[in-house]
């Protein structure tokens, strides 16, 4: 019966599936069909070797992967598939603990806490300790608790290690959390693994019971296991049990979550005898993409050598593009996407990959402007991120009063968003009182705060301090270039200081704000006459809540999020040194981190099936306070696999003006070019959509009819991609 599935395998895959009398390490390259091999192996064990299905265990690390295994196995084994033990490692630990948790002090009916349950425990602890959740968020506390636990640091040790106010507070939160959890006899997701390991390690009868139940254990995505998970796997593997692990050390990209590449590299020393089988025939990508990927990853030392190859047709080389300015890169990418879509390629078959989340900004802006549908995979759109909204609201409070809108009621939204960010002690009852006064006096909230009625002296003082802060910002606005004014706002309000105290996500949020500064600077280059008011009006086009409901959208995601996915066409963008590889990661982790960054590049490149673009730009980076340079990894990709896209000649402009911000950072201000004014009936030329006719102008939005394949689009009339024909 299994011959049919074995016949679909190549020679190495067949060896991996049929080697059953020793431990097996399968080094499965990207796109090499590892799941098919794992399923074929289980089918072979059941149908050809007569192994009872319930004596076979397959461990994976996500519910999605476990369900996919079950579905595939059912197609081959029918009802017998349900008897094979397929589960995530957390589910396996739950099964063990439900049988014998009483042996380590828990009831067998112990509760399992999800993240919402954990936050419910934290709420009274925060109240008792008088902890402000805007200073230490629940997520930050839970992250710290998880880190303590997985590093075997108990509350007393955490308290002894605490060196500052925040770490002292986190240690107290941890102690309170563990006290309450133990009272409840409950376990969180970390406890399931830790207590499962403790049960196997400390109660020999339980360990022997499980070892005697299993003849064959299989572990998928083995390159991502951490020491605790590996410890559980080792304890489950008895003298007569054969262990088969599947993974690719070249795709170990989660060391920051505890994974260790050494585990898979040294597996053959821990389990002897061990046969290593390399799966290097790729069923996804074309040979030029694989050759380039092979060449890059060979620079790593901590790996098992393999060269991916394919029998798939295709000889298209990797296209590289260098933009001179920040805006040229996303415009080039958008043009390629549009051309491919015109030729019949679905949007959903294309993806934009980047090293860090902040990189999505420039591409979101262009895609929104030209009407390319997109979705942020596993993340939040740039202009909807909390810190970006906060910064824009502060800037909105600094705008000049508009004669056409003397009441400025829209300022209420900005006031409500930032009145307590950072925390200023203006409570909900006070805000409700101010809103009531604003309605009765027909004034906006900010004007009411200038002259509040009936408030206590202390509350009135807090209102005065907020008003004084905003008035200071307004008075100093004229002394700064617009992008440097953002620096002044964020420093003066204490917003940056607040983020620096957030060790969990503060730096990532600061990076997003630096990217917002870059957005303002680029907007100034595109329109030197731009004001704060016109910038905020323009940004309104990108901050609406409208989401693409169609499934046919271009995916924007980090390389980490792309692991396990594949697309016909991939654009690897912002391929600049300091971004990819990440300077922060390399500074903290040295050569080991650089090797992980190279593995990330390998993962990114091997997501592409037919077409791969690698792009970057040489504009000024406020992230690095310097002009951008191409990634050092570019030199590791052999020229024979590359075609360099010719740069377009930019129109000659006077030299950019360089200003200094508070921190001494240069700000590039563009040349004096006139803004194109469109009118109804104008013929226009769009860099992506081609020729069109303006049907309507409403504010900064132009309704333009293009050719029948494109149709009517609503676009930003001031965008540089549109010019009069």
Predicted local confidence at residue 335, as pLDDT? 93
- pLDDT, residue 18, reads 94
Is the pLDDT reported for residue 488 higher than 80? Answer: yes
User: Residues with Cβ < 8 Å from 410, sequence gap 6 or more?
Assistant: 444
Tens digits of residue pLDDT in 654-685: 333 333 343 334 333 333 334 557 888 888 88
Place of tokens 């004596």: 55
Q: Are 263 and 222 in contact (CB under 8 A)?
A: yes
Backbone angles phi, psi at 694, to 5 degrees: -75, 120
The domain at 113-184 falls in which architecture? Orthogonal Bundle (1.10)
Q: Say if domain 309-373+548-644 classifies as CATH 3.40.50.300.
A: yes
Percent of the chain at pLDDT > 90 equals 49
546 is in an annotated binding site: no
Mean pLDDT computed over 541-555: 64
- Residues 442/407, Cβ–Cβ less than 8 Å: yes
Task: Give yes or no for residue 533 having a pLDDT over 90.
Answer: no
Q: Which DSSP string corresponds to 226-290?
A: -HHHHHHHHHH--TT-EEEEEE-GGG---GGGT--HHHHHTHHHHSSSEEEEEE-B-SSS-HHHH
**Which position among 34, 72, 85, 514 bears the catalytic label?**
34
Tokens 């067998």 sit on residue: 108
Mean pLDDT across the chain: 86
Question: Of the given ranges (268-277, 478-487, 591-600), which has the lowest mean pLDDT?
Answer: 478-487
Instruction: Flag the least confident range among 505-514, 544-553, 703-712.
Output: 544-553
Give 380-395 pLDDT, tens digit per residue: 778 888 899 899 999 9
The H-or-E segment that residue 437 falls in is helix 428-441
Compute the distance between CA of residue 601 and CA of residue 576 in angstroms, rounded to an integer. 12
Determine whether 432 is an active site residue. Answer: no
Question: Can you give the pLDDT at residue 652?
Answer: 39
Q: What is the pLDDT of residues 620-662, one digit of tens each?
A: 887 777 888 999 999 999 999 999 886 554 443 333 333 334 3
The secondary element (H helix, E strand) that includes residue 694 is strand 690-698
- The Cα–Cα gap between 150 and 157 comes to 13
pLDDT of amino acid 377: 85
pLDDT for position 554:
94
Specify the pLDDT at position 188: 92
For residue 173, pLDDT beyond 50: yes
Residue 267's Cβ-side half-sphere holds a number of Cα atoms within 13 Å equal to: 31
Q: Beta 85-88 vs 374-376: how paired, if at all?
A: unpaired
What pLDDT, on the 0 to 100 scale, is given for residue 550? 58
Q: Answer whether 326's CB lies under 8 Å from 522's CB.
A: yes
Instruction: Answer whether 36's CB lies under 8 Å from 43's CB.
Output: no
Mean pLDDT lowest among 10-24, 118-132, 482-496, 685-699: 685-699
CA distance 90 to 408: 54
Here the tokens at position 280 are 């290097």
- pLDDT score recorded for residue 541: 56
| 506 is known to lie in a ligand binding site | no
Q: Look at domain 386-534 and name its CATH class.
A: mainly alpha
What are the tokens at 167?
């770490």
31 belongs to an annotated ligand binding site: yes
**Averaged over 494-505, what is the pLDDT?**
84
For residue 195, the model assigns a pLDDT of 95
pLDDT of residue 676: 57
The answer to whether the annotation marks 30 as part of a ligand binding site is yes
Active-site annotation holder among 195, 220, 484, 502:
220
Q: Determine the Cα–Cα distance for residues 351 and 573; give it in Å rounded to an integer.
A: 10
- Residue 220 appears among annotated catalytic residues: yes
Rounded average pLDDT over 491-497: 91
Read off the tokens for 138. 């629940």
Cα 601 to Cα 579, 581, 614, distances in angstroms: 12, 9, 11
The closest of 36, 29, 46 to 14, measured between CA atoms, is 36
How confident is residue 104, by pLDDT bands cut at 50, 70 and 90? very high
pLDDT at 260 over 90: no
d(C-alpha 700, C-alpha 678), whole Å: 10
Helix (H) or strand (E) holding 68: helix 63-77
Q: What is the pLDDT of residue 709?
A: 62
Catalytically annotated residue among 15, 18, 19, 35 = 35
pLDDT over 90 (residue 233): yes
Identify whether the C-beta of residue 106 lies closer than 8 Å to the C-beta of residue 195.
Answer: yes
Mean pLDDT comparison of 272-286, 402-416, 487-501, highest-scoring range: 272-286
**Helix (H) or strand (E) run with residue 122 in it:** helix 115-129
Q: Is 543 a catalytic residue?
A: no
Active-site position among 385, 607, 610, 628 = 607
Which of 454 and 125 is assigned the larger pLDDT? 125
The catalytically annotated residue of 60, 241, 251, 558 is: 251
Tell me whether residue 62 is one of the annotated catalytic residues: no
Burial environment of residue 366 by CB neighbours within 10 A (0 to 12, 13 to 18, 19 or more): buried
Pairing type for strands 350-354 and 554-558 reads parallel
- Does 28 belong to an annotated binding site? yes
Active-site option among 178, 221, 511, 526: 221
Strands 722-724 and 683-686: antiparallel
Q: Over pLDDT 70: what percentage of the chain?
A: 92
Distance CA(176)–CA(128), nearest Å, equals 10
- As a whole number of Å, the end-to-end CA separation of the chain is 68
Cross-strand pairs, 56: 216
Q: Smallest Cα–Cα separation from 561: which of 600, 507, 505?
A: 600
Q: Is 35 annotated as a binding residue?
A: yes
Taking residues 417-429, what's their average pLDDT? 86
Residue 341's pLDDT is 94
> Position of tokens 């992230």?
623
Nearest to 244 by CA among 28, 7, 568: 28
CA dist 174 and 162 (Å) reads 12
Give the CATH fold of the 5-101+194-279 domain.
Rossmann fold (3.40.50)
User: CB-based contacts of 3: which residues, under 8 Å, 6+ apart?
Assistant: none
Q: What integer is the mean pLDDT of 404-425? A: 82
Residue 680: strand, helix, or coil: coil
| Residue 34 is among the residues annotated as catalytic for this protein | yes
483 forms beta bridges with none
- Identify the CA nearest to 263 among candidates 219, 211, 226: 226
Determine the pLDDT at residue 710. Answer: 67
Assign residue 31 a region (left: φ > 0; alpha: ψ between -120 and 50; beta: otherwise).
left
Q: Estimate to the nearest angstrom the gap between the alpha carbon of 419 and the chain centroid.
A: 29
Whether the per-residue pLDDT at 102 is higher than 70: the answer is: yes
What's the rounded Cα separation, in Å, for the pair 551 and 565? 16
Distance CA 586, CA 596 (A): 9
């Amino acid at each position: 019966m299994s011959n049919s599935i074995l016949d679909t395998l190549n020679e190495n895959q067949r060896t991996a599936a049929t080697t059953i009398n020793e431990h097996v390490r399968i080094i499965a390259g990207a796109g090499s069909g590892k799941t098919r091999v794992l399923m074929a192996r289980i089918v072979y064990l059941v149908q050809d070797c007569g192994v009872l299905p319930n004596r076979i265990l397959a461990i994976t690390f996500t519910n999605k992967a476990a369900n996919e295994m079950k579905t595939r196995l059912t197609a081959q084994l029918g009802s017998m598939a349900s008897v094979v033990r397929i589960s995530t490692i957390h589910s396996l630990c739950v099964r063990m603990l439900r049988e014998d948790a009483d042996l380590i002090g828990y009831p067998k009916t112990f509760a399992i806490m999800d993240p919402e349950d954990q936050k419910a425990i934290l709420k009274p602890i925060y109240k008792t300790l008088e902890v402000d959740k805007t200073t230490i968020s629940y997520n930050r506390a839970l992250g710290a608790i998880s880190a303590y636990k997985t590093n075997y640091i108990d509350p007393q040790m955490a308290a002894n290690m605490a060196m500052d106010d925040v770490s002292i507070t986190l240690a107290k939160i941890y102690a309170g959390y563990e006290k309450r959890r133990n009272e409840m006899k409950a376990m969180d997701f970390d406890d399931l693994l830790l207590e499962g390991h403790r049960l196997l390690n400390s109660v020999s009868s339980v360990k022997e019971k499980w070892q005697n139940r299993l003849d064959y254990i299989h572990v998928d995505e083995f390159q991502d296991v951490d020491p605790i998970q590996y410890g559980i796997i080792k304890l489950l593997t008895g003298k007569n049990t054969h262990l088969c692990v599947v993974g690719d050390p070249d795709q170990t990209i989660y060391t920051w979550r505890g994974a260790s590449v050494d585990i898979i590299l040294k597996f053959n020393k821990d389990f002897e005898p061990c046969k290593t089988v390399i799966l290097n025939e790729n069923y996804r990508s074309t040979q030029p993409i694989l050759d380039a990927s092979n060449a890059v990853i060979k620079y790593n030392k901590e790996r098992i050598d393999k060269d991916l190859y394919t029998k798939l047709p295709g000889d298209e080389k990797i296209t590289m593009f260098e933009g001179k300015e920040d805006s040229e890169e996303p415009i080039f990418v958008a043009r390629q996407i549009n051309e491919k879509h015109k030729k019949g390629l679905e949007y959903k078959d294309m993806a934009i990959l980047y090293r860090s989340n902040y990189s999505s900004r420039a591409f979101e802006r262009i895609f929104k402007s030209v009407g390319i549908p997109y979705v942020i995979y596993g993340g939040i759109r740039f202009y909807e991120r909390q810190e970006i909204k906060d910064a824009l609201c502060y800037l909105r409070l600094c705008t000049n009063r508009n004669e056409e809108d003397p009441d400025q009621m829209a300022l209420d939204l900005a006031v409500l968003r930032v009145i307590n960010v950072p925390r200023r002690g203006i409570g909900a009852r006070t805000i409700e009182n101010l809103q009531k006064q604003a309605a009765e006096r027909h004034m906006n909230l900010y004007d009411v705060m200038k002259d509040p009625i009936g408030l206590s002296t202390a509350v009135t003082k807090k209102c005065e301090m907020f008003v004084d802060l905003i008035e200071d910002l307004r008075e100093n606005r004229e002394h700064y270039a617009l992008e440097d004014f953002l620096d002044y706002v964020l420093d003066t309000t204490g917003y940056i200081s607040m983020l620096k105290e957030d060790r969990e996500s503060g730096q990532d949020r600061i990076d997003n704000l630096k990217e917002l500064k870059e957005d303002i600077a680029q907007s100034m280059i595109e329109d030197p006459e731009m004001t704060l008011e016109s910038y905020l009006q323009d940004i309104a086009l990108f901050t609406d809540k409208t989401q693409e409901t169609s499934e046919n959208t271009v995916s924007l995601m980090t390389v980490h999020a792309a692991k396990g996915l594949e697309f016909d066409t991939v654009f690897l963008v912002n391929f600049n040194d300091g971004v990819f590889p990440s300077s922060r990661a390399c500074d903290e982790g040295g050569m080991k981190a650089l090797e992980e960054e190279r593995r990330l590049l390998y993962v990114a490149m091997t997501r592409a099936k037919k077409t791969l673009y690698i792009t970057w730009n040489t504009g000024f980076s406020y992230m690095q306070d310097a002009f951008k340079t191409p990634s050092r990894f570019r030199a590791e990709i052999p020229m024979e696999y590359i075609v360099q896209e010719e740069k377009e000649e930019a129109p000659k402009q006077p030299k950019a003006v360089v200003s200094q911000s508070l921190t001494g950072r240069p700000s590039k201000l563009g040349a004096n070019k006139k803004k194109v004014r469109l009118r109804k009936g104008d013929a226009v030329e769009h860099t992506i959509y081609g020729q069109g006719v303006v049907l309507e102008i409403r504010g900064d939005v132009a309704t333009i009819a293009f050719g029948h394949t494109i149709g009517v689009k609503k676009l930003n009339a001031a965008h540089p991609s549109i010019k009069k024909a």
